[in-house]
Structures are given as structure tokens and as C-alpha cells.
Structure 1
Amino acid sequence: MDNQTLLEHTQNLRIWIEEAYKQYQKRKAEEEYPSYDFYTDIQPAVVTFDQKMEEWLTAAISFIEQAKPRYLHQEQLEAVKENGKEVVLQSYFGKQHAPRVKNLVESVVYTLNLLIEEIKKRS
């Protein structure tokens, strides 16, 4: 995957996480939670997220191995994958405490922004 494509994937991933967080906040604010069907709503969203994340993670790791940015490491990218999946799941269930989900979102967005800046430096 070239740098421009990786940049677009990373920006789209950031938007996806931010949208999931908005959905989580909306869900938490409502008195009565809407019900989601696991097989028609949740599973397809998580499967799609996993597929996109695998593509992104492979390309992002390849990028940082070549570029060797000072403040960005493979472990952080892997954490983005795990934490991002948690945010997407919580956008449907809303069971985690709000500060925990907010911290996950901030961590993911911070790392994605670091990657975006590194890609832009090299483009």
C-alpha cells in the first residue's frame, strides 16, 4: 500500500472511531437504549472493522519499519486495533464507563494523528 492510500485509510479510520464514540455518547444519553440485533447490526460492523484494521495494521507496520519514526512504534499500532475494536463494540452496548471509553478514543485518535503526521512528512 502506498503512502497516500495509507494516509486515506488512517484518516477514514479516525473518522470511524470518532463516529463510533458519538454513537456511544448518544446511546449513553438516552433513557431507553435502542436494541440492536447481533447478527444484522453488530457482527457485520465488527467483521468489517476487523478486515479494515488488518489491512491498515499491515500497511502501517510496514510504513513505520521503513520510516522509523521516533515516537511511533508497532505496539502502539496494535493497541489502536484493540482499543478501536473496543470503541466500536461499546458504541452498540454502552456498558463501559464513559471515562474509560473516552480514554480509549483519545488514545486511538492520538496515535492515528501521529501516524498521519509522519506520513505527511514523507509524502
Structure 2
Amino acid sequence: MSSVTFLNTPQALRELADQPHSPCQCSLQHCAGWESVSDTVWPAQHMTHVATLRDPDVHEPTFEEQHTQGTRYESADAPVVLKFFPYNRCDVYACGKCQQHALRYTEFGGYYVDPRARRLNPELIID
């Protein structure tokens, strides 16, 4: 069982993301959309695992995506929709240097594992 909070509403995630933060110069500054961020690039020494979007009661979350404005998975302006992929498989981290929040999940393919991250923009969180 995880010791971090399960955020199950857009409002709860917005409240977390709306906390004040400053610009950061870490490796996540380029992660407006989903980007590959290997463990060697992930700024682990500055990141704190603060929440999860993974529903503990759902064994196999959907891979269906939600794009209300015709965006794509990698789009910087793609909506953050908690019940849809990849958000339903994410954990939320906070940077100790700037207090910026980031989402992180691991993409699994046939022969690869690809950790991905996206800075959390509260304006993109939708119901």
C-alpha cells in the first residue's frame, strides 16, 4: 500500500498544482508534454513523491486517451484527464528547488521501458 495520497478528483489535483512555484532550471523544464526522462536524467535528489493518480481499486486502468480539442498524447496543451491514459497510471512529484509539480509514469512496450514525465499545468486539468 502506498503512503502517498490518492488524488481522485480534478479539483484535488488542481489544488496541488496551484501551489506557488518558481521557474526551475532542472532537467524537467523541457517537459511541457510527455517526454522521455530516463533515471539518469530524472532529478531524483530534488523530487518528492507527493501523490498518485493510480486508483488502488482498478487492477488494469484503461489505455483510452481523452483529447477534447484534437490534441495528441505528446501535445504540450493536451488535457490532463485523471481517468484516462496516461494520467490513470501516474504519480505526482514536487521539485524541492522550485516546488513545481510533475507527473511521471513508465511506458512499457514490447521490448522497452520508457520513463516519461510532464510538468503539471493546472490550466490543463479538466473534469
**TM-score interval (norm. to shorter):** 0.3 to 0.5
Q: Rg: which structure is higher?
A: 1
Taking structure 1 as the reference length, the TM-score comes to 0.32
Taking structure 2 as the reference length, the TM-score comes to 0.32
